[in-house]
A and B are shown apart, each in its own frame.
Chain A
Amino acid sequence: MSEQTNQPENSAVFSPSEDAHPKEERGSCMVCGRRGWLAAWAGWVAAVAAYLTPILAALRAFLAPGAKGSAQAGDFRRVATLDMVPENGTPITVPILAERVDAWNRYPSQPIGGIFLRRTEEGKLLALNVRCPHLGCTVIYDSAKGELLCPCHNARFNLNGERLEVNSQSPRDLDPLEVEVRNGGEIWIRFQHFRLGVAERIPE
């Protein structure tokens, strides 16, 4: 304070001239001399370090979902018993329940998909994923025609899951799933989804 006592203007209002400090062109050289360079570089390094820390941390969190999980075939799970599947080859629909994890929440026993289950003409068990390979609609059993029908774009499949039209909307036949009969009558399948819209079966 003491050095300013000879300057009474500290409590004064704006000076009469509109700009008390007319600009001189002193900044024509932005970085002058060795010290200037040093200050500029040190300043840049410090500023980048200071700002980059929160930016990198936030990016790390933001990009976390980008990491691709490896496709895993699910474990075999028990879905039905043999006596539930009609002898005459009619398919039944069985929902697949599984634990679902959504960020912090864990939901036990949630529907994650479904399967058609039927006995083929050779007497073998056939399990098909009900998800249409085109866009993922749920395929239904059209009992009047004895066909499987995707109601979204009318793609038709026979009971073995093969496409009925030459130019089907579906890029491939319905996806068969591995089936096993265990413990004398329990039906176990390995439930799996495959990538939509492509001709090959790529596990998801």
Chain B
Amino acid sequence: MNVGSANIQGESPEAKGGCPIVCAGKVVGQWLEDRTGIISAYRKIAGRILPGGVSWCRVWPSAVLFLLIVQAITGVCLWMHYSPSAQTAWESVYYIQYQLPGGWLVRGIHHYSAQLLVAVTGLYLLHLVFSGGYRPPREWVWWTALGLLALALGGCLTGDLLLWDVNGYSASQVRVGFLTLLPGIGDDLYRLAVGGQTFGHHTLTRFFALHVSVIALGFWVVFGLHWYFLRRSERLAADGGLVQCPACRWLRQWWKSRLGSVGQSEASTTPPSVYADEPYWPGQFFRNAVVWLGLMIIILLLVLHPWKPAAKEAGGGLADRGARLLAPADPDPAAFYAAARPEWSFRGLYQLSNLFPSNPIPGLGISWKIVPIFVLTGLVALFFLAMPFIAWWKWGHVVNVAAVTFVTVALILLTLVSYWHDAADSHYREAVAEAEAMAQRVKVLAAGLGGIPPQGALSLLHQDPKTRGPKLFASHCVICHDLPGESVMNIRAEKPSAPQLYRFARREWIQGLLDPAKVGGPEYFGNTRFAASAMVRYVQGRYQNLPDSDKAAIIEALVAEAGWDGPSGESPVQKELVARGRDLISQHCTQCHVYRGEGPRGFTPTLDGYGSYAWLVGIIADPTHGLFYGARNDRMPVYWSSAVDPGVNRLQGDEVAVLAQFLREEWFEPDRPLPPKREPFLMIAGRWDGLRPTVPIPGDSPAERARWLYQKELCSLCHSMTGVEGEEPIMAYRPAGGDPGGPGTSGRTPWPPRRSSHSPPAAEICR
């Protein structure tokens, strides 16, 4: 290498001649070589002599290095777009997967090359064991290779959580929770790992920092050491430098014998066990490059998974390719993902730990789980570390090979059992299907609503009537109310004891309500205390005397009250019919119902806005409100009563709002118009609160106030008051009790009341 002879002025005489480009290239090359030595370094690397010659068995470290470089390239790119916090981690991964051009591919390559890194490192270790490459003097080669596997697994463990989806979140909780098994230091270690007592921002920042610094950098350092020890052992070991597995040896033999027929002299003269040294270039480079390309093809196949039918996803096109992303993690313990599983590489350990009970070991007070998670794993790790020493012993290698074979076969079997177990577990399959449906839904919402609110993607699901509604209905309503609809609107009560709510306040439902055969049946009031109420008797009795056109008008007017102008609306109602129906309601129904300022309070639900969003919010929040059932409320609890003390509420305001929208089937669907914008819950609750009678009580004297309350609130429903001198008599809406001022009517007065001097006909009461 005559590096000193380069013309450092950059103006070589040849450059002025007839070959400007070639000569300029030469000059630049020489200058570069002179200043940096890069070309001779390249020649040295490419031309370095491999003791024992080129071999497929030499590709292992190079394959690991390739995957490591792929991890670094894609990892840095992901790093640029990832944001580790509880409100942004899932959201930024969603952005990478579905919005960033090429993001899904980068993420897919990163994910699957990480899986391959574990697999290739594991196979490399097996190769070292079975070919004897771990034996002295290669202890450090073996130990650094073990370190590579540990780091690859550590990368999977930390990377899994970074998605902050239900699987990573729940699985990591289990995983990190194992730390508390350790006696004494367990709890402290747990807090160190989590960055506090519970999973949150600091868990993400810690795991992220570990993932991108300690593990990623550690990988390069350990790999560098491994490479160094490997080269050194090649150079110095007396065994020819090359350890080969039987397959490689056979392949080589076969190849040499074929070459021999071509006329290569060496192959025929060399004994089969001794191989000539060969340069790296080009034979080994070719083999390495073929393996790199093979690995990349496998990665791309895993990313594109062409064998799976393309699911229609929010991002469209290829966006559903690549690594999986489930719904965002929900810190609600009730939302713990029951089908949380570790990556495939931990499935063996997962299944092993399932074989042990959680109850304490007698006399120790530590859970049995410590045996698979720490004791057995630790012993196996220790054994792996000690293998080079065991190999000194005459039969040591045989023992090592047998033990490694046993551990490998056991892990494979346990892994298979774990997958087989899941495949046969219907609960697992249901949980996975549910999680996938939720993931699909949140992506549809995020894409359809033009972005994710600053509170995070979880709020999209929490405020989504389609997915949250059924859960709320199932935990609060279905104990009495049946919901015999389809798909999400199908939640069946075991023992319905209240009206069914499918398509509540829509035409069909109202028609059923006003059907004499149904109103007293189980679909409506049959199982309530109103089974023989005035409503049922009215529908079965006097309502039947109305002409059919009047009935139709009343039904149309009631349907109109619910305001079905949203995407889930009923067919348009005829205006004249509705107007006539409203008059008829005022005429016939205000004897018991409040409608347009008429009718008794605290008795029956108001018909103003019957079934509308605000009406539903009001009755769910407080059915005992004077404009709903008042004191006559059957069994329906007050679900919401305080804006300042959430502890007294059975449902929080947003949950009431979600239920009301759910019952009205007002939710976002990509192929439907947007659902109507709704006022915040507290606005509506405040309006209902303003309608409570306790606020405006007119009158100055106690007597006047008492009279007002008697008349407007519950008393005058049943009790008339007629005999007070100097005051107008108060007539009961539905006389059923004594008259505290009058001559005395004890016992129940029959309904409808008899016409008498102090009981005017019912129709006149409210007029």
Contacts and interface: CB of A to CB of B under 8 A. Distances in A.
Nearest to B105: A57
Contacts of B167: none
Contacts of A21: 49, 51, 235, 241, 277
Contacts of B69: 51
Given A24-B277, A58-B74, A101 B450 contact: yes
Interface in B95-130: 95-96, 99-103, 105-106, 109, 113
A88 interface: no
A104 B95 contact: yes
A42 to B, nearest CB: 6
A30 to B, nearest CB: 5
Given A26-B49, A51-B292, A57-B109, A36 B277 contact: no
B331 interface: no
B132 A50 contact: no
Interface of A: 1, 3-4, 6-7, 9-15, 18-21, 23-24, 26-27, 30-31, 36, 39-40, 42-47, 49-51, 53-55, 57-58, 60-62, 64, 99, 101, 103-107
Interface string B279-309: 1011101101110110110001000000000
Given A10-B239, A51-B69, A104-B452, A27 B92 contact: no
Nearest to B280: A27
A101 B95 CA distance: 12
A162 B454 CA distance: 40
The 6 closest A-B pairs by CB, nearest first: A106-B451, A60-B102, A27-B47, A58-B77, A50-B292, A27-B279
Given A27-B279, A55-B73, A105-B454, A61 B239 contact: no
A103 B109 contact: no
Interface residues on B, range: 35 or more
A10 B132 contact: yes
A20 B452 contact: no
Contact of B102 (A15, A46, A64): A64
Given A20-B51, A43-B285, A47-B293, 4 more contacts: A4-B273, A30-B281, A40-B281, A55-B73
Contacts of A24: 49, 277
B238 A50 contact: no
Contact of A43 (B136, B236, B290): B290
B682 interface: no
B450 A40 contact: no
Contacts, number: 183
A46 B103 contact: no
A178 to B, nearest CB: 26
A46 to B, nearest CB: 4
B99 A14 contact: no
Contact of B453 (A43, A62, A105): A105
A84 to B, nearest CB: 26
Contacts of B238: 9, 12-15, 20
A81 B554 CA distance: 43
A26 B277 contact: yes
A58 B288 contact: no
A21 B300 CA distance: 41
A61 B80 CA distance: 9
B279 A105 contact: no
A11 B451 contact: no
Contacts of B281: 27, 30-31, 40
Contact of B296 (A6, A45, A49): A49
Contact of A106 (B70, B109, B453): B453
Contacts of B100: 61, 64
Contact of B295 (A18, A44, A50, A60): A50
A40 B135 contact: no
A43 B239 contact: no
Given A46-B289, A49-B296, A58-B76, A3 B273 contact: yes
